């Protein structure tokens, strides 16, 4: 890992830079694949599955028999862990339900909102180097609680044409009835446009590689909504001299093993901690099965020593990490000063992996600094709020003259007349 001591603020932009997403170079390929999926449907999806996932499929949808076989293959301990996580995720997201409230802004003028579920949603779960069954829970649970009528899931199959059994088990217990064997750009295109097998949805959720990210951004221009822009995963640890270097090193490595383009950063006021963490990272790294991936990630990761805690807080808010772990003696006070982060983990016993799996919060979060403007996935991500207003004769008499003046000054005479005819109505 790179060790940086006492950087000047002018250096922060360069220091906190992420790995660049090569979106422009990918866009031509992405658009070509999307267009073929749009025009050729299942035929294109099956062809691209053979090209990219090296599997020749006769059909795309997972059968009931495959769901049943998957359930038998999942170890009972993993089933119990999945159910515990699902229960916590459901409990936390259920607490976010919207309560509608009517507001009388003036006598005779009443306004309110109603929460309505997005009817059709598509969940994307990557294949890649690990079966992300936890992402199934994070996306399907709030979709179910919101009341989405149609929830479909796309995920790439292996070379035998099978979906990992834990993904299918998680989908079934979380309430997803339809799962399709496709990944990458072709999966995003299929959900955006619809094919004879895969329904068109109104919003697409889920992480993915750079191709998936660009595909989501492309279809979002005019065809479908998406959850958020996404990039490689990242963690920042904010720590002082009281932090446990073994814990800090484990948190940095748990992020680094996600992939070669993941980023892990430690920002601390303690030089002693930096040295101990560096040693502990080397020790723990040697024992990891995914050592080679983590090593590549650590090449762009950093241990940063700053002058004081306020500087550390300012640097965190500038970086806007996807995940932030605060391991300091006064972590509650420091947390109040954090304004830019996707999800925050407080104290020595709140590792990022808790939120990734089972504490109940959602792990689908804004990356690449988007935490300055975006929230992570929540119940709100799966609903729309429709506004209503009811105005009585008394109400229109009260606000009508103001509307007339405003409409006249915007040169919108028909708007003004819609008020005038009501004000002039004879009883």
Task: Return binding residues for NAD(+).
Answer: 124, 186, 209
270-273's contacts with Cβ under 8 Å and 24+ in sequence apart are: 270/239, 270/240, 270/241, 270/243, 270/305, 271/5, 271/305, 272/241, 273/239, 273/240, 273/241, 273/243, 273/245, 273/248
* CA gap 324, 226 in Å, rounded: 24
* CA gap 85, 47 in Å, rounded: 36
Spatial CA neighbour of 148 closest among 94, 202, 198: 202
> Which residues are known binding-site members for substrate?
233, 255, 258, 323, 356, 410, 415
* CA gap 217, 24 in Å, rounded: 12
| DSSP code, position 84 | H
> Which residues are known binding-site members for Zn(2+)?
255, 258, 356, 415
Q: Which of 257, 322, 327, 352 is catalytic?
A: 322
* CA gap 307, 303 in Å, rounded: 14
Spatial CA neighbour of 162 closest among 53, 77, 76: 53
Q: Which of 280, 323, 327, 352 is catalytic?
A: 323
* CA gap 216, 208 in Å, rounded: 9
In a 10 Å sphere around its CB, with 0-12 CB exposed, 13-18 middle and 19+ buried, how is residue 349 labelled?
A: exposed
Dihedral Cα 186, 190, 191, 194, nearest 10 deg: 170
Sheet containing 234-239, strands listed edge to edge, beginning at the edge strand earlier in sequence: 2-5, 302-305, 263-268, 234-239, 323-327, 343-346
CB count within 10 Å of CB 2 equals 12
323 is catalytic: yes
322 is catalytic: yes
CB count within 10 Å of CB 139 equals 31
**Which helix (H) or strand (E) element contains residue 335?**
helix 331-336
First-to-last C-alpha distance (Å) of the chain: 80
What residues are annotated to the active site?
Answer: 322-323
């Amino acid at each position: 890992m790179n060790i940086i001591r006492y950087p000047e603020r002018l250096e922060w932009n360069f220091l906190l830079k992420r790995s660049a997403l090569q979106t422009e170079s990918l866009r031509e390929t992405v658009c070509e694949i999307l267009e073929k999926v749009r025009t050729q449907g299942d035929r294109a999806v099956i062809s691209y599955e053979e090209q990219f996932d090296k599997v020749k499929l006769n059909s795309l949808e997972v059968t009931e028999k495959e769901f049943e076989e998957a359930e038998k293959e999942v170890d009972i301990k993993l089933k119990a862990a999945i159910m515990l996580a699902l229960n916590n995720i459901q409990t936390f997201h259920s607490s976010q339900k919207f309560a509608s409230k009517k507001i009388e802004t003036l006598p005779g003028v009443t306004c309110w909102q109603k929460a309505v579920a997005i009817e059709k949603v598509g969940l994307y779960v990557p294949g890649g180097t690990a079966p992300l069954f936890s992402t199934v829970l994070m996306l399907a649970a709030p979709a179910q609680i919101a009341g989405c009528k149609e929830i479909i899931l796309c995920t790439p199959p292996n070379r035998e044409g099978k979906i990992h059994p834990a993904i299918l088990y998680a989908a079934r217990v979380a309430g997803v009835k339809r799962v399709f064997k496709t990944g990458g750009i072709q999966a995003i295109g299929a959900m955006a446009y619809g094919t004879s097998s895969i329904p068109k949805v109104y919003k697409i959720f889920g992480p993915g590689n750079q191709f998936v990210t660009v595909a989501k951004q492309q279809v979002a221009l005019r065809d479908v909504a998406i959850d958020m822009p996404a990039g490689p995963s990242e963690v920042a640890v904010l720590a002082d001299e009281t932090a446990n270097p073994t814990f800090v090193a484990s948190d940095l490595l748990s992020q680094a093993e996600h992939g070669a383009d993941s980023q892990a950063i430690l920002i601390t006021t303690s030089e002693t901690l930096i040295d101990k963490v560096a040693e502990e990272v080397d020790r723990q790294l040697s024992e990891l099965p995914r050592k080679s991936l983590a090593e590549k990630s650590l090449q762009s990761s950093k241990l940063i020593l700053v002058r004081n805690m306020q500087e550390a807080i300012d640097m965190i808010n500038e970086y806007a990490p996807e995940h932030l772990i605060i391991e300091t003696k006064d972590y509650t006070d420091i947390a109040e000063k954090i304004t830019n982060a996707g999800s925050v983990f407080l104290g020595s016993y709140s590792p990022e992996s808790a939120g990734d799996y089972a504490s109940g919060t959602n792990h689908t979060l804004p990356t690449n600094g988007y935490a300055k403007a975006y929230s992570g996935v929540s119940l709100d991500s799966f609903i729309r709020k429709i506004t209503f207003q009811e105005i009585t004769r008394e109400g229109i008499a009260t606000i009508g003259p103001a509307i007339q003046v405003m409409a006249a000054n915007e040169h919108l005479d028909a708007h003004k007349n819609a008020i005038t005819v009501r004000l002039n109505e004879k009883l």
